[in-house]
Chains A and B, each alone.
Chain A
Amino acid sequence: MSAERSLELAALQQELAQAGYIADPPLAAALLLMQDLGRPLLLEGDAGVGKTEVAKVLAATRRTRLIRLQCYEGLDAHAAMYEWNYQRQLLAIKLLEHDERASTKDLAQKEQDIFSERYLLKRPLLEAISCDEAPVLLIDEVDRADEAFEAYLLELLSDFQLSIPELGTVHATSRPWVVITSNGTRELSDALRRRCLYQYIDYPDHAKELAIVRLKVPGVAAELAQQIVAFVQAVRRMELQKKPGIAETLDWTAALLRLGISVIDVDGADRILQTLSTLIKTRDDGAAFPREVVARLAATC
């Protein structure tokens, strides 16, 4: 049984790599378990470590839709779950009023019709549980939404059903794969945490980041990739307000390639400085990178 499991795990990692994502074994194990237990997966970690990407690549490997709900402050049920299409409802009412031929029986019928699925606009959460084939539901940055939203979410995640007062309870036709990401700006409730599998994603180490660069930017020479990753890892070790994430590394690689830089060395410090805006995103951090620092970092790569 267990030999099979490690094979399964390796196969999943392989599959994810083909779809463009380098996953650590613990993450792959969690994804397998998510499949077995049907639980949502909660991903935490700094911005730019590839949390959202997990959901995208999961959808790609499962060949299914990705439904994304971006959370923000003030997100309410109308934006997240469902909304009545009231323009059309009103139109229907007006038409009915002017329709002189309609009998009383018709009217009763029409009245019921006004609050039927025809006039329901599905927002991401309702959409996700009413698909024929299980989609991947990505609830991005759940910590930005307020506590009230977390309560709706709990109902959905525990029973996979939504209650709409005018219509009744909508049961899931298929169980979506739920991926929730959080940047930790607000403490999530224990109830939510307990319903989910958990995964903390850290900045990648040297080997993993190198693999990502080679995978995502196939045109980069092996030696340059090595240097780029060493440089970025050194930058991350410095005390910065905003550490560069993986997307920044890839941007920087693209910028270097665009400028035709094939090797990072002390002489190229000026040209590296021109591209640093892809890595360094605040003014204070920019001040920490005068030419000498860049040259010193470049020399050690």
Chain B
Amino acid sequence: MLNAATLDSRAAERLVGFPGFLRANGFGVGGGDAVPVLQAARRVGLLDPQVLRWSLQALLCGRGDEWRRFDELFDAWFLPANRWQAPERRDAGGGTLGGTCPRGPAGHHAADDEGEDAVHPRDTASPHETLSSADFSTLTEREHTLEVEALMRRFARQLRHLRLRREARARRGARLDLPATIRRSVASGGTPFHLAWKDRRRVRPRLVLLIDVSRSMALYSFFYLRLARALGAELNDVHSFIFHTRITAVSQALHDPDPWRAQERLHLMAQGWAGGTRIGESLAQFNRRHAPRLVHSRTAVLILSDGYDTGEPQALSDALAQLRRRARRVVWLNPLCARPGYAPICQGMQAALPHIDLLAPAGDLASLQAVLPELIAALH
């Protein structure tokens, strides 16, 4: 094996800086990764950039979206500036969904100084467009946060007690676990002193939240996003999406530990929010792209929307029927439901009603609190 000295020191420096550059671009790599990078480079050699690229890709990527962004970042870091043609911005057009971070590579200076300063001017302009439609600045405001968190904690605690059919070993239970009892009896020479029991296992359903953020929902969407954030902090299997005319995953952005950055990321994702609502289309899109991966027989889907749909009611009905077949429960929380004299007569709700397990009001904290027992019952 060659030793470190054989790597030209300039190249080594460049290589060592690469994990930091990836980190600045949102990769989950740490400072410790510089060592395996050097090791790999020593094994692979530097003359053939392709082999080095593939090796570092295997080494430094950890998930699918990192895998897809890697090539661009590798070019940006290693190729001389004139050879790097800025690749087309696939995520800038808004067609892709994974775009939790719709910017080009952050310059490596960003890693050194402030982290987020290197955002391109075009991206930073976007918040001004969306401020009129939805205001996320309230997302982390102190005022109601404590109450929301307390309620979600209670909800989460009750969810933990949901039991499904599957059995598992338990301290106390209704049925004897014979294999385990015999196994334990070995210690006492074959006399079963300590009995082992089986009981129904507690399996919390997975929660998928689909939050309507169209203009008609502007009053409520920030509140729902806060719910999603608080719920995600309590439970680990919560997946949140926002939709208006298309659907976008927001779990990662919501759970960004830095609240300021969480706001910023949501702003970036919300470009062009003021448009109409196409619930059916958004749900169909969800069925295609996310449902096969996320929705299984223990999944409860919560749709948070007022049901005002500008799309085809038939599309909504079809998409919901498909979703209903996959999921365990589909619950629709409608903020308007609590108003006196409300009846679900708008086309969207009419189309949806046959396919949902529960329609409940959730206009504010109080009504949500009131509906919680019903909600828990529906999730059973």
Contacts and interface: CB of A to CB of B under 8 A. Distances in A.
Interface residues of A, number: 44
Contact of B59 (A1, A33, A74): A33
Given A26-B58, A93-B189, A193 B28 contact: yes
Contacts of B55: 29-30, 32-33
Contacts of A108: none
Interface in B31-76: 36, 39-40, 43-48, 50-52, 54-55, 57-59, 61-64, 66-68
Nearest to B33: A194
Contacts of B50: 6, 25
Interface string B159-195: 0000000101000000000000011011001100000
Interface string A168-187: 00000000000000011110
Given A29-B58, A199-B58, 20 more contacts: A1-B44, A5-B44, A25-B50, A26-B57, A26-B58, A29-B51, A29-B55, A32-B55, A37-B40, A37-B59, A44-B64, A74-B201, A90-B185, A93-B186, A93-B190, A185-B293, A193-B63, A198-B63, A239-B288, A242-B292
23 contacts: A1-B44, A1-B47, A2-B51, A26-B58, A28-B54, A29-B58, A33-B55, A36-B43, A37-B36, A37-B59, A73-B166, A84-B183, A86-B186, A90-B185, A90-B186, A93-B189, A184-B293, A197-B58, A197-B59, A198-B63, A198-B66, A198-B67, A200-B64
Contacts of A199: 58
Interface in A52-94: 73-74, 84, 86-87, 89-90, 93-94
B62 A193 contact: yes
Contacts of A41: 58
Given A184-B293, A241-B292, A94 B190 contact: yes
A4 B61 CA distance: 25
Interface of B: 2, 28-30, 36, 39-40, 43-48, 50-52, 54-55, 57-59, 61-64, 66-68, 166, 168, 182-183, 185-186, 189-190, 201, 237, 287-288, 292-294, 296, 322
Specify which of A2, A94, A242 lies most central, judged by the most chain B CB atoms within 10 Å of its CB. Answer: A2
A2 B46 contact: yes
A6 B48 contact: yes
Nearest to B60: A198
A211 interface: no
A41 B59 CA distance: 9
A26 B50 CA distance: 9
A26 B68 CA distance: 13
Contact of B182 (A74, A86, A194): A86
A5 B48 contact: yes
A16 B190 CA distance: 52
Given A33-B40, A37-B39, A239-B288, A200 B186 contact: no
